[in-house]
């Protein structure tokens, strides 16, 4: 199973008062989860969910112009059937 993490300092692993410095992977939330559940593929994405959803909308638009009408429900159904999306 693929598990997508996105959207906050715990996922990205910022060190409190030094946002430009990241924690080591094994100390970040995603690294801890990956070590605990090695059978799953952890995807670490530091983008907030609102940015991710905008990217998905743009992709839908461009795919629709290439292949014909694609609905949001078709794409979201495909994404959620393959990923556990959490924040």
Which residues, including other chains, have CB under 8 Å from residue 59's CB and lie 6 or more apart? 75
Flag whether pLDDT at 13 surpasses 60. yes
Which DSSP string do the residues of 51-85 spell out, in sequence order?
Answer: HHHHHHHHHHHHHHHHHS---HHHHHHHHHHHEEE
Give the residue-averaged pLDDT of 44-63.
Answer: 73
pTM: 0.47
Q: What backbone phi and psi angles, to 5 degrees, belong to 31?
A: -65, -40
Q: What's the mean pLDDT when you consider all of the chain?
A: 75
């Amino acid at each position: 199973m693929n598990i997508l993490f996105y959207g906050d300092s715990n996922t990205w692993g910022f060190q409190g008062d030094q946002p430009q410095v990241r924690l080591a992977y094994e100390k970040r939330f995603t690294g801890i989860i990956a070590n605990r559940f090695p059978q799953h593929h952890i995807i670490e994405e530091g983008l907030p969910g609102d940015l991710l959803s905008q990217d998905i909308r743009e992709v839908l638009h461009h795919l629709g112009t290439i292949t014909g009408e694609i609905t949001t429900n078709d794409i979201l159904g495909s994404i959620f059937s393959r990923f556990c999306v959490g924040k």
